[in-house]
Amino acid sequence: MMTSEQYIESLRGLNMKLYKFGEIVENIVDDPIVRPSLNSFAKTYELAQDPQYEDLMTATSNLTGKKINRFTHLHQSTDDLIKKVKMQRLLGQKTAACFQRCVGMDAANAVYSSTYETDEACGTKYHENFVKFWTKVQDEDLAVDGAMTDVKGDRGLSPSKQADPDLFLHVVERTPEGVYVTGAKAHQTGYLNSHYVLVMPTISMRPGDEDYAISFACPTDAEGITLILGRQSCDTRKTEQFNNIDVGNKTYGGHEVLVIFDHVFIPNDMIFLNGEVQFAGMIVERFAGYHRQSYGGCKVGVGDVLIGATQLAVEMAGCAKASHVKDKIIEMNHLNETLYACGIACSSQGAPTKAGNYLIDLLLANVCKQNVTRFPYDIARLAQDLAGGLMVTQPSEADYRNPATHDYIEKYLKGVDSVPTEQRMRVLRLVENMTMGTAAVGYLPESMHGAGSPQAQRIMISRQANMEQKKALAKVIAHLDEVK
């Protein structure tokens, strides 16, 4: 397994074409806007080297028998699924941000089982291709981004019926050696910090969509790939001279990019689905289920930090003992632990796939994510309520460092006398960052839209709730068979 330092150095060898704010980025690794997200990703490597976290952060590969980073593991039991959620909560606590490596792990587990069943039905060799690729990932401890979301164009039309065929990624040329693909994947979290991208279809497919039913892996800096960095609230604070306070979370963060594939070549041995439209939906459903499980861990860990910051804020303001304040803190913890309970529940009820790796209980995973679309917003609302207006009206750090204004800020932003004013300012900026700034991207909108927007979970809950069984139970209790 790589150390965090080795991982960071390995990214310097990549040659990604990234545009940020209208200009190309020459040094992605050290770019001040991107680097906090890299630090978050690197934490997955750092903690795997720490003996106290070995049980959560590492596993034994079913492919090679070697010790590997759990983020490259193919789950072999419900215990693995539970440890995954616990690991994600730990990393959320350590970074207070999106640490980005979950998507590749969830994609790998979905593609591993789906390729096995595709081969079984179609006589293909996609599973063999994937096992070879993923063995390399495990052996070299590589970072892999999972890419599912297409830009979709007209949501009322299937991929093959779009006015512009590139609005869903698709095969544009076939050769004996492989295929060429064109299109784009949006909202890509962790792409800039990954060595490979694992691409999946974005929706279920139907006959006529064969060129869009494509899954593959390729290097993140493959020829023909162009990246455009997504804009985040307060992102340029990271570039200011005085940013120890104003950034809120200076060390860690996340990012999203738009990934454009322009006639990118994919060799045959890196293809995991190629036209079998009936299996596109299986990959989508399984990936979504795994990723919805993930949110029962990562968002909870971030929530732990936000709750802690809120508690500090009320203590620094001298109002922590007020009954309504204590009740709101209790509510924040109640909501956060409910999310965690759902993540653990869907993990504990998992079962093996035909390929042998374990799949979570899909119904409970969708219930977990449905709660994630709501509870973090409630937690953030309570955090802002308790932090108070100073969270968004306090002067800048530049003014705090300015001798002409420092003493005024020091005097008038004071809370409890025993707490330094700067400490209070730092805590309030952390709450701002997590509920409105760059970290809020990974905590709030990602909670809403990541792994599918709320209606996607409601559709899956409807499909998996087994209403016929529930009706049968009621019929027995009501003795309906006695009525002719």
% the chain with pLDDT above 70: 100
Continuous segment of H or E residues that includes residue 353? none
Give residue-wise pLDDT tens across range 357-370: 999 999 999 999 99
Residues in the chain, overall count: 484
Domains of the chain are 4-282 (2.40.110.10), 288-470 (1.20.140.10)
Number of Cβ within a 10 Å radius of residue 231: 12
Distances (CA, A) of 367 to 90, 298, 372: 22, 16, 9
Give residue-wise pLDDT tens across range 270-300: 999 999 999 999 999 999 999 999 999 999 9
pLDDT of amino acid 426: 98
Backbone angles phi and psi of 199, in degrees to 5: -95, 140
pLDDT of amino acid 222: 98
Give residue-wise pLDDT tens across range 373-400: 999 999 999 999 999 999 999 999 999 9
Largest Cα span, the chain: 90
Is 295 annotated as catalytic?
yes
Where residue 484 falls among pLDDT bands split at 50, 70, 90? Answer: confident
When pLDDT is averaged across residues 78-88 and rounded to a whole number, the result is 98
Closest CA to 173 of 277, 274, 281: 274
pLDDT of amino acid 453: 87
Contact criterion met (CB below 8 Å) for 268 and 122: no
Choosing from 58, 98, 196, 285, the catalytic residue is 98
In sequence order, the 6+-apart residues with CB closer than 8 A to the CB of 12 are 29
Give residue-wise pLDDT tens across range 219-276: 999 999 999 999 999 999 999 999 999 999 999 999 999 999 999 999 999 999 999 9
Closest CA to 69 of 97, 50, 44: 44
Is 196 annotated as catalytic?
no
When pLDDT is averaged across residues 14-26 and rounded to a whole number, the result is 97
pLDDT of amino acid 97: 96
Pairing of strands 214-219, 196-199: antiparallel
pTM, whole model, 2 decimals?
0.96
Give residue-wise pLDDT tens across range 135-170: 999 999 999 999 999 999 999 999 999 999 999 999
Give residue-wise pLDDT tens across range 467-480: 999 999 999 999 99
When pLDDT is averaged across residues 209-215 and rounded to a whole number, the result is 98
Choosing from 210, 276, 285, 446, the catalytic residue is 446
Structural tokens at position 175:
């050769």
Matching residue, tokens 């917003």 = 377
Structural tokens at position 360:
């979570």
Contact criterion met (CB below 8 Å) for 104 and 198: yes
Is 479 annotated as catalytic?
no
Give residue-wise pLDDT tens across range 439-456: 888 899 899 998 888 999
Closest CA to 143 of 283, 39, 48, 42: 42
What is the average pLDDT value for the chain, to the nearest integer? 97
pLDDT of amino acid 451: 87
Choosing from 298, 342, 346, 368, the catalytic residue is 298
DSSP code per residue over 57-108: HEEE-TTT--EEEGGG----SHHHHHHHHHHHHHHHHHHSS---THHHHHHH
Closest CA to 257 of 31, 469, 435: 31
Choosing from 115, 149, 189, 435, the catalytic residue is 189
pLDDT of amino acid 440: 86
Give residue-wise pLDDT tens across range 175-197: 999 999 999 999 999 999 999 99
Cα–Cα dist 457/468, whole Å? 20
Pairing of strands 351-352, 58-60: unpaired
Distances (CA, A) of 381 to 179, 329, 376, 378: 48, 12, 8, 5
Choosing from 291, 397, 421, 435, the catalytic residue is 291
Q: What is the rounded radius of gyration, in angstroms, for the C-alpha atoms of the chain?
A: 24
When pLDDT is averaged across residues 401-406 and rounded to a whole number, the result is 98
Is 256 annotated as catalytic?
yes
Choosing from 75, 195, 256, 346, the catalytic residue is 256
Is 102 annotated as catalytic?
yes
Give residue-wise pLDDT tens across range 91-140: 999 999 999 999 999 999 999 999 999 999 999 999 999 999 999 999 99
When pLDDT is averaged across residues 14-24 and rounded to a whole number, the result is 98
Distances (CA, A) of 138 to 72, 145, 259, 406: 6, 14, 25, 52
pLDDT of amino acid 100: 96
DSSP code per residue over 197-264: EEE--SS---TT-GGG-EEEEEETT-TTEEEEEPP-TTGGGGGSSS-TTTTSSSS----EEEEEEEEE
Choosing from 7, 45, 75, 102, the catalytic residue is 102
Continuous segment of H or E residues that includes residue 25? none
When pLDDT is averaged across residues 305-322 and rounded to a whole number, the result is 98
Amino acid at 101: R
pLDDT of amino acid 361: 97
